[in-house]
């Protein structure tokens, strides 16, 4: 699959922040993390902070995979409403999933406070809404359930929303806490800079071509026939991680994103909060520290891994049409902003599990392996949780979250 494509904001506005060597000799470690995107970097940070001898390896440039096409919208809300999720997994676990994401926002803020580069991180309020009258009662039920469970929410009806936003709203839930945004590419390298100080070794442009699970350790062979012997392998390869399993564990789409040039004022956008509608697929918006607007959505199912949408072959008109539709939506959201001009267009693979939750932990088919497959819109927040969960598991403590995020659930 072609994971990402287009003129990606994060790698165009940032230089290649660091370069790392490829593997030139056989080596050993306690944990080898495969995957040099934001999830692998988070895990590397937590493991090295705990004094675990760790190597991070990626077949490409660090941070240039799916991370480079992430919008990095971080919310306590998951891909399913709380009312929907409780039907799937029960109220107690559904609330736990929401609250874990809210806690992960706070944990991420603590990490940022320890990094030299603040990575354009900012806490945000967020707004989840519908423009459809037929969905008002569902939004009301969702609001009441969140309120009952202690989330800091405010219900906005059509009239109240008109005073805050310039786009049509029939009903919405405004959350005063539990959301944030970040530059994911800078975050990767800031984390790794910190982890290197704790002993992390990083290898890029080095593909693992063979993995031999032996008695008590795993032998990894690279494309230049060097070997890494490790006690544990941590798989953080994102959507490519599904290839380890015969059973389908995630449904993949291609998601499209536009980023504008910096604008002068954000008329019709209350507190520059994160915005998400309740459509399927949904549309989402955020801003940036240099006053750009990012809008994403218009997802298309990719079909098989050799399909045109997976490989981006012979579908140029389809891709361009998605960008046009997103651009038209952006103008309809903010008709009072006169200097909207798109500068970046890009797309990437996006995945959603059956309950919107990630897969974190061990799998019976892979002894000596940890999996950190943070699918869904909250990938970075799931990564924060996974880094802590897997670190503790490696050190001998099984956290309760492993049950929520287990395989075969």
Give the integer Cα–Cα distance in Å for 144 and 305: 41
Average pLDDT over residues 129-152: 98
Between the CA of residue 81 and those of 50, 98, 121, 128, what are the distances in Å?
35, 10, 26, 10
Q: Which residues contact 65 (CB under 8 A, 6 or more apart)?
A: 3, 4, 36, 37, 58, 238
Give the integer Cα–Cα distance in Å for 219 and 272: 49
Average pLDDT over residues 154-173: 98
| pLDDT of the residue at 383 | 98
Q: For residue range 229-266, list pLDDT tens digits in order.
A: 999 999 999 989 999 998 899 999 999 999 999 999 99
pLDDT at 305 over 90: no
Q: What is the dihedral of CA 263, 182, 61, 41, to 10 degrees?
A: 180
Orientation angle between helical segments 379-394 and 91-113, nearest 10 degrees: 90
Mean pLDDT of the chain: 96
Q: For residue range 21-54, list pLDDT tens digits in order.
A: 999 999 999 999 999 999 999 999 999 999 999 9
pLDDT at 171 over 90: yes
How many other C-beta atoms are found inside a 10 Å radius of the C-beta of residue 327? 16
pLDDT at 16 over 90: no
How many other C-beta atoms are found inside a 10 Å radius of the C-beta of residue 400? 8
pLDDT at 304 over 90: no
**Measured on CA atoms in the order 63, 66, 71, 75, is the torsion positive or negative?**
negative
Six-digit token string for 353? 């599990």
**Residue 292: in which H helix or E strand, if any?**
none
pLDDT at 223 over 90: yes
pLDDT-derived band at 388 (thresholds 50, 70, 90) equals: very high
Q: For residue range 341-372, list pLDDT tens digits in order.
A: 999 999 999 999 999 999 999 999 999 999 99
| pLDDT of the residue at 15 | 87
SS3 369: strand
| pLDDT of the residue at 17 | 84
Six-digit token string for 96? 């736990």
End-to-end CA distance of the chain: 27
The listed CATH number (3.40.50.410, 3.50.50.60, 2.40.10.10, 3.40.50.12780) that belongs to domain 16-70+185-248+356-404: 3.50.50.60
**Residue 275: in which H helix or E strand, if any?**
strand 274-277
Domain segments of the chain: what residues?
Answer: 16-70+185-248+356-404
Residues 150, 76 contacting (CB under 8 angstroms): no
């Amino acid at each position: 699959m072609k994971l990402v494509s287009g003129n990606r904001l994060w790698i165009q506005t940032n230089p290649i922040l660091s370069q790392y060597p490829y593997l030139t000799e056989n080596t050993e470690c306690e944990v080898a993390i495969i995957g040099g995107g934001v999830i692998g970097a988070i895990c590397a940070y937590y493991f090295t902070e705990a004094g675990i001898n760790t190597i991070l390896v990626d077949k490409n440039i660090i941070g240039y995979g799916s991370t480079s096409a992430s919008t990095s919208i971080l919310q306590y809300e998951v891909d399913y409403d709380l009312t929907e999720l409780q039907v799937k997994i029960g109220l107690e676990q559904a609330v736990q999933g929401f609250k874990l994401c809210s806690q992960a926002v706070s944990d991420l803020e603590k990490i940022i406070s320890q990094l030299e580069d603040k990575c354009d991180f900012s806490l945000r309020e967020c707004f989840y809404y519908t423009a459809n009258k037929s969905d008002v009662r569902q939004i009301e039920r969702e609001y009441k359930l969140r309120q009952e469970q202690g989330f800091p929410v405010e219900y906005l009806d059509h009239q109240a929303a008109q005073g805050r936003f310039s786009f049509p709203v029939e009903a919405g839930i405004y959350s005063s806490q539990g959301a944030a945004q970040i530059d994911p590419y800078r975050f990767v390298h800031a984390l790794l800079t910190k982890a290197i100080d704790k002993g992390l070794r990083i290898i890029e442009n080095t593909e693992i071509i063979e993995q031999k699970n032996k008695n008590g350790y795993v032998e990894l062979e690279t494309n230049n026939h060097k070997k890494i012997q490790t006690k544990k392998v941590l798989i953080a390869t994102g959507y490519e991680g599904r290839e380890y399993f015969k059973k389908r564990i995630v449904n993949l789409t291609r998601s499209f994103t536009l980023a504008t040039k910096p604008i002068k004022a954000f008329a019709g956008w209350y507190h520059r909060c994160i915005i998400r509608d309740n459509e399927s697929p949904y549309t989402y918006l955020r801003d940036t520290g240099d006053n750009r607007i990012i809008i994403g959505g218009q997802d298309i199912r990719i079909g098989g891994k050799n399909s045109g949408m997976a490989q981006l072959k012979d579908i140029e008109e389809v891709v361009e049409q998605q960008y046009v539709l997103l651009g038209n939506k952006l103008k309809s959201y903010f008709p009072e902003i006169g200097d909207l001009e798109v500068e970046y267009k890009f797309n990437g693979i996006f995945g959603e599990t059956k309950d919107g939750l990630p897969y974190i932990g061990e799998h019976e088919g892979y002894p000596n392996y940890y999996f950190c497959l943070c699918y869904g819109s909250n990938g970075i927040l799931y990564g924060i949780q996974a880094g802590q969960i897997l670190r503790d598991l490696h050190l001998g403590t099984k956290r309760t979250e492993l049950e929520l995020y287990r395989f075969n659930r």
